[in-house]
Structure 1
Amino acid sequence: MIDSSMIDSESDDTVDYGRLVWSDDLVLGIASIDEQHREWIALVQAFERAVTEGEPAEEMRRTLAAAIAYTESHFADEQRVMEEADYPFLDDHLAQHQLAWDRVHAFATGEVADEEVRNSLAEFLPQWLMLHINTADRQFARWLKGSAVPGTPVEPAGRVFGDIPV
């Protein structure tokens, strides 16, 4: 179920991934990952609030640091679960994590002006997180629940973005 406030009324029912809200639609059915996603979304929302409410740079950086620390922990946990399950698309999934990590980490170093952090990450984080959960993480959950059996050969077409080299 998509919250009607997430629909851009100017377009034809396009989901606005800039509005990050936990809903049952994001549940993957893997309890540990679902709980981490809930917490992660709460941290990204805190960062978004700091940006949109014009909080001082210190508060914005504090909330960003918390989100980054959690991101690192979540990525490691998710990777462990996938490795234990012998997930055939693990390399693709990790490449997506690395792309997000590189972008977020670049902003967290303090080398980028606060205004650029405000503008770029407040858009990027929620959009990437919603898209990633709804594509790559969902693909893993379906696979884990029996769409494929660990250790069986899989076709490259089974990748979330089969036509995109990673």
Structure 2
Amino acid sequence: MLRNWSEVYSVGIPTIDEQHQGFFAASHRLYEQILDREANQGVAEAIAFMRDYAGSHFQTEEAFMRDHEYPALAAHQALHAAFFARLDALAEDLATFGPSPDLAERALDLTQDWLVDHIADEDVLYALHAKSHAAGAPRD
């Protein structure tokens, strides 16, 4: 099921929330292009866009974590790397087998379910860390 951005997914950091909204929109485009079995070029472009968007977004997140001395930065970076590995596998399967409903479902799982889980389980932790260390709170 396609999910739309909701304030429920907000981490309270405007730049990152805006990027998460864009991530939701990009995942919708990728899913629809694969499900509609559009030309492989269109799906390949959607995957390339997702890769670029994720790369830019992850850089923003990781810079924020560094700036706020988030102690779990390395573990969070590993999660980002795992996302790219799954995206690469999706692109490989597209190149090998072409678009299909199964590939569309995998794209949905990768982009939306992963994103929702990642925001709820991981991104919220660095946001909470930053907020707890704002306003002169002592560092860990």
Specify the TM-score bucket, using the shorter chain as the normaliser. Answer: 0.7 to 0.9
- Give 3-state SS (helix, strand or coil) of 1:29's partner: coil
The answer to whether the aligner puts 1:139 opposite 2:125 as a matched pair is: yes
Unpaired segments ≥5 residues, structure 2:
none
Query: CA 1:105/1:58 → structure 2, altered by over 3 Å: closer, same or farther?
Result: same
Deviation at 1:150, TM superposition (A): 6.8
Q: Normalized per residue, which structure has more helix?
A: 2
CA distance in 2, matches of 1:126, 1:105: 16
Deviation at 1:117, TM superposition (A): 4.1
Unpaired segments ≥5 residues, structure 1:
1-17, 153-166
Whether the aligned pair in 2 keeps the contact of 1:86 and 1:150 (CA below 8 Å) is: no
Residue equivalent to 1:95: 78
Deviates more, 1:140-149 or 1:128-137: 140-149
Residue equivalent to 1:38: 21
Alignment partner of 2:55 out of 66, 69, 72: 72
Alignment of 1:51-66 (within 5 A): 51-66=34-49
- Give 3-state SS (helix, strand or coil) of 2:3's partner: coil
Residue type at the aligned position of 1:87: Y
Residue equivalent to 1:107: 90
Whether the aligned pair in 1 keeps the contact of 2:2 and 2:28 (CA below 8 Å) is: no
Alignment partner of 1:118 out of 99, 104, 109: 104
Residue type at the aligned position of 1:68: R
Residue type at the aligned position of 1:93: H
**What percentage of residue pairs aligned between the two structures are identical?**
27
RMSD over equivalenced CA pairs, Å: 2.1
Residue equivalent to 2:3: 20
